[in-house]
Amino acid sequence: MPDSTTIPVRLGDRTYEVAIGRDLLAQAAARVSDALGYTPTKTLVVADTGARPHVDRVMDSLSQAGIEAHRIDITPAERTKTIATFACVLEAAASAGLERTNPIIAVGGGIVGDVAGFAASAYRRGVPSVVCPTTLLSMVDASVGGKTGVNLTCPTGGLIKNMAGAFHQPSLVLADLLTLTTLDARHLTSGLAECVKHAMLSADHGDPGALEWLRLHADALAQLEPAAMDSLVTRSVQLKARVVEHDERELAAAGSAHGRATLNLGHTFAHAIEPIEHLSPTGKPGDVPLHHGEAVGLGLIAACATAAITGLCDPSYGDSVSSLLTHLGLPIRIAGLPDNAELRARMLSDKKVAQGAIRLVLPTAPGSARLIDDCPAEAIDAGWDRIRA
Protein backbone atom coordinates (compact mmCIF):
# COMPACT_ATOMS: atom_id res chain seq x y z
CA MET A 1 0.00 0.00 0.00
CA PRO A 2 1.21 3.60 -0.60
CA ASP A 3 2.99 5.36 2.27
CA SER A 4 0.80 7.13 4.73
CA THR A 5 0.97 8.82 8.09
CA THR A 6 -1.45 7.26 10.52
CA ILE A 7 -2.98 9.17 13.39
CA PRO A 8 -4.97 7.16 15.90
CA VAL A 9 -8.10 8.56 17.52
CA ARG A 10 -8.07 6.66 20.81
CA LEU A 11 -11.59 6.13 22.08
CA GLY A 12 -11.53 2.71 23.70
CA ASP A 13 -13.46 0.17 21.65
CA ARG A 14 -14.28 2.90 19.11
CA THR A 15 -10.62 3.68 18.38
CA TYR A 16 -9.86 4.28 14.70
CA GLU A 17 -7.16 5.60 12.45
CA VAL A 18 -6.90 8.60 10.18
CA ALA A 19 -4.60 7.68 7.29
CA ILE A 20 -3.04 10.67 5.52
CA GLY A 21 -1.12 10.26 2.27
CA ARG A 22 -1.27 10.25 -1.52
CA ASP A 23 -3.24 7.88 -3.74
CA LEU A 24 -4.84 6.17 -0.74
CA LEU A 25 -8.25 5.96 -2.46
CA ALA A 26 -6.87 3.44 -4.96
CA GLN A 27 -6.35 1.18 -1.93
CA ALA A 28 -9.73 1.91 -0.37
CA ALA A 29 -10.99 -1.69 -0.38
CA ALA A 30 -7.91 -3.15 1.34
CA ARG A 31 -7.82 -0.35 3.89
CA VAL A 32 -11.54 -0.70 4.67
CA SER A 33 -11.13 -4.47 5.16
CA ASP A 34 -8.10 -3.89 7.44
CA ALA A 35 -9.98 -1.36 9.54
CA LEU A 36 -13.13 -3.45 9.88
CA GLY A 37 -11.27 -6.70 10.42
CA TYR A 38 -13.27 -8.38 7.64
CA THR A 39 -14.08 -7.79 3.97
CA PRO A 40 -17.65 -6.52 3.69
CA THR A 41 -19.86 -8.18 1.08
CA LYS A 42 -21.43 -4.89 0.07
CA THR A 43 -21.35 -1.19 0.78
CA LEU A 44 -23.15 2.05 -0.06
CA VAL A 45 -20.93 4.85 -1.33
CA VAL A 46 -22.37 8.31 -0.67
CA ALA A 47 -20.76 10.27 -3.47
CA ASP A 48 -20.16 14.01 -3.71
CA THR A 49 -21.01 15.07 -7.29
CA GLY A 50 -18.14 17.59 -7.09
CA ALA A 51 -15.61 14.84 -6.40
CA ARG A 52 -16.40 12.42 -9.26
CA PRO A 53 -12.86 11.32 -10.20
CA HIS A 54 -12.13 10.50 -6.56
CA VAL A 55 -15.41 8.63 -6.15
CA ASP A 56 -14.52 6.59 -9.26
CA ARG A 57 -11.20 5.54 -7.71
CA VAL A 58 -13.01 4.28 -4.61
CA MET A 59 -15.65 2.46 -6.70
CA ASP A 60 -12.92 0.82 -8.83
CA SER A 61 -11.02 -0.33 -5.78
CA LEU A 62 -14.17 -1.82 -4.21
CA SER A 63 -15.26 -3.61 -7.36
CA GLN A 64 -11.75 -5.00 -7.99
CA ALA A 65 -11.89 -6.46 -4.47
CA GLY A 66 -15.23 -8.11 -5.24
CA ILE A 67 -17.20 -5.85 -2.89
CA GLU A 68 -20.70 -5.07 -4.20
CA ALA A 69 -20.62 -1.26 -4.19
CA HIS A 70 -23.88 0.68 -4.48
CA ARG A 71 -23.79 4.43 -4.92
CA ILE A 72 -25.94 7.47 -4.22
CA ASP A 73 -24.89 10.86 -5.59
CA ILE A 74 -25.39 14.02 -3.54
CA THR A 75 -24.86 17.56 -4.77
CA PRO A 76 -23.76 19.29 -1.56
CA ALA A 77 -25.27 22.56 -0.34
CA GLU A 78 -26.33 23.76 3.11
CA ARG A 79 -29.91 24.03 1.73
CA THR A 80 -29.86 20.34 0.82
CA LYS A 81 -28.06 19.16 3.98
CA THR A 82 -31.48 18.16 5.23
CA ILE A 83 -33.55 15.42 6.79
CA ALA A 84 -34.89 14.74 3.26
CA THR A 85 -31.39 14.00 1.93
CA PHE A 86 -30.60 11.92 5.04
CA ALA A 87 -33.81 9.93 4.34
CA CYS A 88 -32.73 9.37 0.71
CA VAL A 89 -29.42 7.87 1.92
CA LEU A 90 -31.25 5.60 4.38
CA GLU A 91 -33.59 4.44 1.63
CA ALA A 92 -30.68 3.82 -0.73
CA ALA A 93 -29.06 1.66 1.97
CA ALA A 94 -32.31 -0.26 2.42
CA SER A 95 -32.79 -0.69 -1.36
CA ALA A 96 -29.23 -2.01 -1.63
CA GLY A 97 -30.01 -4.48 1.15
CA LEU A 98 -27.16 -3.32 3.40
CA GLU A 99 -26.77 -5.45 6.50
CA ARG A 100 -25.39 -4.55 9.94
CA THR A 101 -21.78 -5.29 8.97
CA ASN A 102 -21.89 -3.41 5.65
CA PRO A 103 -20.32 0.06 5.83
CA ILE A 104 -21.57 3.34 4.44
CA ILE A 105 -18.62 5.09 2.77
CA ALA A 106 -18.66 8.86 2.29
CA VAL A 107 -16.50 10.26 -0.50
CA GLY A 108 -16.62 14.03 -0.60
CA GLY A 109 -16.65 17.23 1.38
CA GLY A 110 -17.97 17.95 4.86
CA ILE A 111 -21.63 18.05 3.82
CA VAL A 112 -21.58 14.59 2.27
CA GLY A 113 -19.55 13.28 5.23
CA ASP A 114 -21.98 14.72 7.80
CA VAL A 115 -25.09 13.35 6.03
CA ALA A 116 -23.56 9.92 5.28
CA GLY A 117 -22.26 9.58 8.84
CA PHE A 118 -25.68 10.46 10.25
CA ALA A 119 -27.26 7.83 7.98
CA ALA A 120 -24.66 5.28 9.17
CA SER A 121 -25.59 6.09 12.79
CA ALA A 122 -29.29 5.51 12.13
CA TYR A 123 -29.53 2.77 9.49
CA ARG A 124 -30.37 -0.48 11.32
CA ARG A 125 -29.50 1.51 14.49
CA GLY A 126 -25.92 1.84 13.35
CA VAL A 127 -23.63 0.42 10.68
CA PRO A 128 -19.89 1.11 10.24
CA SER A 129 -18.98 4.40 8.64
CA VAL A 130 -15.89 5.17 6.56
CA VAL A 131 -15.01 8.70 5.51
CA CYS A 132 -12.90 9.63 2.49
CA PRO A 133 -12.71 13.44 2.82
CA THR A 134 -11.98 15.26 -0.44
CA THR A 135 -11.86 18.88 0.74
CA LEU A 136 -9.22 20.36 3.03
CA LEU A 137 -11.91 21.37 5.51
CA SER A 138 -13.35 17.89 5.71
CA MET A 139 -9.85 16.36 6.05
CA VAL A 140 -8.72 18.48 8.95
CA ASP A 141 -12.01 18.87 10.73
CA ALA A 142 -15.34 17.38 9.63
CA SER A 143 -14.18 13.80 9.02
CA VAL A 144 -12.55 13.38 12.43
CA GLY A 145 -14.46 13.13 15.68
CA GLY A 146 -17.77 11.46 14.87
CA LYS A 147 -20.07 14.49 14.76
CA THR A 148 -22.65 13.85 12.06
CA GLY A 149 -25.86 15.63 11.17
CA VAL A 150 -28.06 17.84 9.05
CA ASN A 151 -29.49 21.36 9.16
CA LEU A 152 -33.08 22.13 10.17
CA THR A 153 -35.29 24.91 8.85
CA CYS A 154 -36.68 27.18 11.59
CA PRO A 155 -40.23 28.65 11.44
CA THR A 156 -38.95 31.92 9.90
CA GLY A 157 -37.48 29.92 7.02
CA GLY A 158 -33.83 30.28 8.11
CA LEU A 159 -31.46 27.37 8.48
CA ILE A 160 -30.21 26.15 11.84
CA LYS A 161 -26.90 24.49 11.19
CA ASN A 162 -26.33 20.89 12.25
CA MET A 163 -29.35 20.94 14.56
CA ALA A 164 -30.16 17.22 14.18
CA GLY A 165 -27.51 14.54 14.25
CA ALA A 166 -25.64 11.94 16.22
CA PHE A 167 -22.21 11.10 17.53
CA HIS A 168 -21.07 8.16 15.42
CA GLN A 169 -17.34 7.60 15.16
CA PRO A 170 -16.10 6.31 11.79
CA SER A 171 -14.17 3.05 11.56
CA LEU A 172 -11.60 4.67 9.26
CA VAL A 173 -10.77 8.05 7.73
CA LEU A 174 -8.83 7.97 4.46
CA ALA A 175 -7.41 11.43 3.77
CA ASP A 176 -5.95 11.27 0.26
CA LEU A 177 -4.10 14.53 -0.40
CA LEU A 178 -4.29 13.98 -4.16
CA THR A 179 -7.98 14.84 -3.97
CA LEU A 180 -7.07 18.43 -3.08
CA THR A 181 -5.52 19.02 -6.52
CA THR A 182 -9.02 19.37 -8.05
CA LEU A 183 -10.36 21.67 -5.35
CA ASP A 184 -11.04 25.30 -6.32
CA ALA A 185 -9.14 28.11 -4.65
CA ARG A 186 -12.03 29.34 -2.50
CA HIS A 187 -12.68 25.91 -1.00
CA LEU A 188 -8.98 25.43 -0.41
CA THR A 189 -8.66 28.70 1.50
CA SER A 190 -11.86 27.87 3.39
CA GLY A 191 -10.12 24.77 4.71
CA LEU A 192 -7.12 26.88 5.70
CA ALA A 193 -9.42 28.89 7.99
CA GLU A 194 -10.17 25.76 10.04
CA CYS A 195 -6.42 25.09 10.22
CA VAL A 196 -5.91 28.62 11.59
CA LYS A 197 -8.62 27.87 14.16
CA HIS A 198 -6.80 24.70 15.19
CA ALA A 199 -3.54 26.62 15.47
CA MET A 200 -5.33 29.16 17.70
CA LEU A 201 -6.01 26.27 20.12
CA SER A 202 -2.70 24.50 19.69
CA ALA A 203 -0.78 25.78 22.73
CA ASP A 204 -3.43 24.23 24.97
CA HIS A 205 -2.76 20.89 23.25
CA GLY A 206 1.03 20.72 23.30
CA ASP A 207 1.81 22.32 19.91
CA PRO A 208 2.62 25.96 20.73
CA GLY A 209 4.50 26.56 17.47
CA ALA A 210 1.55 25.91 15.14
CA LEU A 211 0.53 29.55 14.53
CA GLU A 212 4.09 30.62 13.77
CA TRP A 213 4.50 27.60 11.44
CA LEU A 214 1.38 28.67 9.53
CA ARG A 215 2.76 32.19 9.19
CA LEU A 216 6.06 30.91 7.83
CA HIS A 217 4.46 28.48 5.38
CA ALA A 218 1.50 30.55 4.18
CA ASP A 219 2.91 30.94 0.64
CA ALA A 220 3.80 27.25 0.30
CA LEU A 221 0.30 26.29 1.46
CA ALA A 222 -1.38 28.61 -1.01
CA GLN A 223 0.64 26.80 -3.74
CA LEU A 224 -0.39 23.35 -2.38
CA GLU A 225 3.31 22.56 -1.91
CA PRO A 226 3.25 18.82 -1.02
CA ALA A 227 5.54 18.82 2.05
CA ALA A 228 3.75 21.82 3.54
CA MET A 229 0.32 20.29 2.87
CA ASP A 230 1.38 16.98 4.48
CA SER A 231 2.54 18.78 7.63
CA LEU A 232 -0.52 21.02 7.74
CA VAL A 233 -3.03 18.18 7.49
CA THR A 234 -1.09 15.94 9.89
CA ARG A 235 -0.71 18.65 12.52
CA SER A 236 -4.32 19.77 12.23
CA VAL A 237 -5.73 16.22 12.43
CA GLN A 238 -3.48 15.54 15.45
CA LEU A 239 -4.94 18.57 17.23
CA LYS A 240 -8.52 17.51 16.42
CA ALA A 241 -7.85 13.92 17.50
CA ARG A 242 -6.38 15.00 20.86
CA VAL A 243 -9.37 17.27 21.59
CA VAL A 244 -11.87 14.54 20.69
CA GLU A 245 -10.02 11.98 22.82
CA HIS A 246 -10.21 14.36 25.77
CA ASP A 247 -13.88 15.27 25.45
CA GLU A 248 -15.62 13.11 22.83
CA ARG A 249 -19.16 14.23 23.63
CA GLU A 250 -18.41 17.88 24.37
CA LEU A 251 -19.23 17.54 28.06
CA ALA A 252 -16.26 19.40 29.57
CA ALA A 253 -17.22 22.34 31.79
CA ALA A 254 -17.26 25.92 30.53
CA GLY A 255 -13.83 27.42 31.12
CA SER A 256 -11.97 24.20 30.28
CA ALA A 257 -9.12 24.79 27.85
CA HIS A 258 -9.29 21.20 26.65
CA GLY A 259 -13.02 20.75 26.05
CA ARG A 260 -14.35 19.94 22.58
CA ALA A 261 -16.46 23.08 22.74
CA THR A 262 -13.28 25.12 22.20
CA LEU A 263 -13.32 23.84 18.59
CA ASN A 264 -16.24 26.23 18.13
CA LEU A 265 -13.84 29.17 18.27
CA GLY A 266 -15.20 31.61 15.67
CA HIS A 267 -18.18 29.39 14.91
CA THR A 268 -20.97 31.15 16.84
CA PHE A 269 -20.21 34.26 14.79
CA ALA A 270 -19.76 32.16 11.63
CA HIS A 271 -23.03 30.25 11.97
CA ALA A 272 -24.92 33.57 12.31
CA ILE A 273 -23.73 34.81 8.90
CA GLU A 274 -23.18 31.62 6.92
CA PRO A 275 -26.86 31.15 6.02
CA ILE A 276 -27.24 34.77 4.76
CA GLU A 277 -27.30 34.01 1.08
CA HIS A 278 -26.43 37.45 -0.31
CA LEU A 279 -23.10 37.82 1.52
CA SER A 280 -20.15 37.78 -0.85
CA PRO A 281 -16.56 37.57 0.47
CA THR A 282 -15.19 39.37 -2.58
CA GLY A 283 -18.02 41.82 -3.13
CA LYS A 284 -18.72 40.18 -6.53
CA PRO A 285 -22.37 39.14 -6.89
CA GLY A 286 -21.34 35.76 -8.36
CA ASP A 287 -19.30 34.87 -5.28
CA VAL A 288 -22.25 34.17 -2.99
CA PRO A 289 -22.87 32.63 -0.54
CA LEU A 290 -20.09 32.62 2.04
CA HIS A 291 -18.34 29.27 2.37
CA HIS A 292 -18.20 27.71 5.82
CA GLY A 293 -14.45 28.32 6.23
CA GLU A 294 -14.72 31.93 5.03
CA ALA A 295 -17.38 32.54 7.67
CA VAL A 296 -15.15 30.83 10.27
CA GLY A 297 -12.21 33.07 9.35
CA LEU A 298 -14.39 36.16 9.85
CA GLY A 299 -15.66 34.62 13.09
CA LEU A 300 -12.10 34.18 14.37
CA ILE A 301 -11.42 37.88 13.87
CA ALA A 302 -14.72 38.85 15.53
CA ALA A 303 -13.92 36.55 18.48
CA CYS A 304 -10.51 38.21 18.91
CA ALA A 305 -12.12 41.66 18.94
CA THR A 306 -14.74 40.55 21.49
CA ALA A 307 -12.03 38.99 23.66
CA ALA A 308 -9.90 42.12 23.44
CA ILE A 309 -12.73 44.42 24.58
CA THR A 310 -13.47 42.18 27.57
CA GLY A 311 -9.77 42.15 28.51
CA LEU A 312 -9.39 38.42 27.82
CA CYS A 313 -6.62 38.87 25.28
CA ASP A 314 -4.29 41.50 23.90
CA PRO A 315 -5.75 43.59 21.01
CA SER A 316 -2.61 42.92 18.94
CA TYR A 317 -3.57 39.22 18.72
CA GLY A 318 -6.57 40.06 16.52
CA ASP A 319 -4.31 42.09 14.23
CA SER A 320 -1.88 39.22 13.80
CA VAL A 321 -4.72 36.72 13.13
CA SER A 322 -6.18 39.13 10.52
CA SER A 323 -2.86 39.48 8.79
CA LEU A 324 -2.37 35.67 8.71
CA LEU A 325 -5.87 35.18 7.22
CA THR A 326 -5.19 37.88 4.61
CA HIS A 327 -1.89 36.20 3.73
CA LEU A 328 -3.78 32.92 3.25
CA GLY A 329 -6.29 34.62 0.93
CA LEU A 330 -9.26 34.80 3.29
CA PRO A 331 -11.64 37.76 3.72
CA ILE A 332 -11.27 39.75 6.96
CA ARG A 333 -14.23 42.11 6.46
CA ILE A 334 -17.59 41.67 4.79
CA ALA A 335 -20.17 44.08 3.37
CA GLY A 336 -23.93 43.73 3.75
CA LEU A 337 -24.14 42.42 7.33
CA PRO A 338 -27.44 42.99 9.15
CA ASP A 339 -27.36 45.29 12.20
CA ASN A 340 -25.81 44.07 15.46
CA ALA A 341 -29.15 43.40 17.19
CA GLU A 342 -30.22 41.09 14.36
CA LEU A 343 -26.85 39.37 14.35
CA ARG A 344 -27.07 38.76 18.10
CA ALA A 345 -30.58 37.35 17.60
CA ARG A 346 -29.17 35.00 14.96
CA MET A 347 -26.45 33.91 17.37
CA LEU A 348 -29.18 32.98 19.87
CA SER A 349 -30.59 30.43 17.43
CA ASP A 350 -27.21 28.64 17.33
CA LYS A 351 -27.39 25.24 19.00
CA LYS A 352 -24.62 26.20 21.44
CA VAL A 353 -27.02 28.57 23.22
CA ALA A 354 -27.32 27.69 26.94
CA GLN A 355 -30.40 28.85 28.87
CA GLY A 356 -31.07 31.62 26.38
CA ALA A 357 -27.55 33.08 26.66
CA ILE A 358 -24.95 33.23 23.90
CA ARG A 359 -21.97 31.00 24.74
CA LEU A 360 -18.76 32.01 23.04
CA VAL A 361 -15.34 30.49 22.72
CA LEU A 362 -12.92 33.38 23.00
CA PRO A 363 -9.14 33.51 22.60
CA THR A 364 -7.14 34.24 25.73
CA ALA A 365 -3.63 34.25 24.20
CA PRO A 366 -1.99 32.95 21.00
CA GLY A 367 -2.80 29.23 20.90
CA SER A 368 -5.29 29.31 23.80
CA ALA A 369 -9.05 29.81 24.16
CA ARG A 370 -11.89 29.35 26.71
CA LEU A 371 -15.65 28.87 26.58
CA ILE A 372 -17.32 31.94 28.10
CA ASP A 373 -20.96 31.92 29.21
CA ASP A 374 -21.67 35.54 30.08
CA CYS A 375 -20.27 37.75 27.39
CA PRO A 376 -21.80 41.27 27.40
CA ALA A 377 -23.76 42.36 24.30
CA GLU A 378 -21.48 45.38 23.76
CA ALA A 379 -18.45 43.11 23.52
CA ILE A 380 -20.20 40.89 20.96
CA ASP A 381 -21.12 44.02 18.99
CA ALA A 382 -17.45 45.04 18.98
CA GLY A 383 -16.74 41.70 17.30
CA TRP A 384 -19.32 42.34 14.59
CA ASP A 385 -18.08 45.90 14.08
CA ARG A 386 -14.53 44.59 13.54
CA ILE A 387 -15.53 42.56 10.46
CA ARG A 388 -18.18 44.92 9.02
CA ALA A 389 -16.96 46.46 5.74
| Alpha-helical runs (H) found in 200-225 | 210-222
Q: CA-to-CA distance for 283 and 194, rounded, in angstroms? A: 22
Of 374, 380, 220, 260, the closest CA to residue 308 belongs to 380
**For residues 296 and 343, which CB has a smaller minimum distance to ligand NAD in the complex?**
296
Q: CA-to-CA distance for 191 and 138, rounded, in angstroms? A: 8
Single out the residue of 48, 207, 250, 294 in contact with ligand NAD (rule: CB under 6 A). Answer: 48
Q: CA-to-CA distance for 116 and 55, rounded, in angstroms? A: 14
Q: CA-to-CA distance for 294 and 289, rounded, in angstroms? A: 10
Q: Are strands 16-21 and 172-176 parallel, antiparallel or unpaired?
A: parallel
CB of 195 to ligand NAD, least distance (A): 12
**For residues 33 and 349, which CB has a smaller minimum distance to ligand NAD in the complex?**
349
Stretch that binds ligand NAD, among 140-148, 278-286, 313-321, 323-331 (CB under 6 A): 140-148
Site for ligand NAD contains 281 (CB under 6 A): no
Residues 240/197, Cβ–Cβ less than 8 Å: no
The whole-angstrom distance between residue 186's C-alpha and the CA centroid of its chain comes to: 15
**For residues 271 and 386, which CB has a smaller minimum distance to ligand NAD in the complex?**
271
Name which of residues 150 to 189 contact ligand NAD (CB under 6 A). 161-162, 179, 182-183, 187
Single out the residue of 145, 281, 289, 383 in contact with ligand NAD (rule: CB under 6 A). Answer: 145
| Helix or strand (DSSP H, E) at 48 | strand 42-48
Q: CA-to-CA distance for 30 and 24, rounded, in angstroms? A: 10
Site for ligand NAD contains 135 (CB under 6 A): yes
Single out the residue of 141, 176, 207, 350 in contact with ligand NAD (rule: CB under 6 A). Answer: 141
Q: Are strands 360-365 and 42-48 parallel, antiparallel or unpaired?
A: unpaired
The alpha carbon dihedral of 32, 35, 39, 41 has a sign of negative
- Taking each helix axis from N to C end, the angle separating 210-222 and 315-327, rounded to the nearest 10 degrees, works out to 20
CB of 283 to ligand NAD, least distance (A): 21
Site for ligand NAD contains 25 (CB under 6 A): no
**For residues 31 and 240, which CB has a smaller minimum distance to ligand NAD in the complex?**
240
Please list, in sequence order, all residues whose beta carbon lies within 8 angstroms of the beta carbon of residue 186, skipping any fewer than 6 positions away.
281, 287, 291, 294
Single out the residue of 137, 334, 361, 379 in contact with ligand NAD (rule: CB under 6 A). Answer: 137
Site for ligand NAD contains 108 (CB under 6 A): yes
**For residues 185 and 345, which CB has a smaller minimum distance to ligand NAD in the complex?**
185
ω into 289 cis (within 30 of 0): yes
Please list, in sequence order, all residues whose beta carbon lies within 8 angstroms of the beta carbon of residue 259, skipping any fewer than 6 positions away.
243, 246, 247, 250, 251, 252, 253, 371
**For residues 250 and 381, which CB has a smaller minimum distance to ligand NAD in the complex?**
250
**For residues 240 and 370, which CB has a smaller minimum distance to ligand NAD in the complex?**
240
Single out the residue of 134, 202, 234, 280 in contact with ligand NAD (rule: CB under 6 A). Answer: 134
- Residues that bind ligand NAD (rule: CB under 6 A) add up to a total of 31
**For residues 151 and 322, which CB has a smaller minimum distance to ligand NAD in the complex?**
151
Stretch that binds ligand NAD, among 132-140, 218-226, 314-322, 365-373 (CB under 6 A): 132-140
Single out the residue of 168, 205, 292, 370 in contact with ligand NAD (rule: CB under 6 A). Answer: 292
Site for ligand NAD contains 51 (CB under 6 A): yes
Please list, in sequence order, all residues whose beta carbon lies within 8 angstroms of the beta carbon of residue 386, skipping any fewer than 6 positions away.
301, 302, 304, 305, 318
Instruction: Give the x-and-dash track for 67-106 against ligand NAD (CB under 6 A).
Output: ---------x-x--x-------------------------
Single out the residue of 4, 27, 121, 138 in contact with ligand NAD (rule: CB under 6 A). Answer: 138
Query: In angstroms, what is the C-alpha Rg of the chain?
Result: 20
CB of 191 to ligand NAD, least distance (A): 7
CB of 146 to ligand NAD, least distance (A): 8
Of 366, 351, 360, the closest CA to residue 264 belongs to 360
Residues that bind ligand NAD (CB under 6 A): 48-51, 54, 76, 78, 81, 108-112, 114, 134-135, 137-138, 141-142, 145, 147, 161-162, 179, 182-183, 187, 190, 292-293
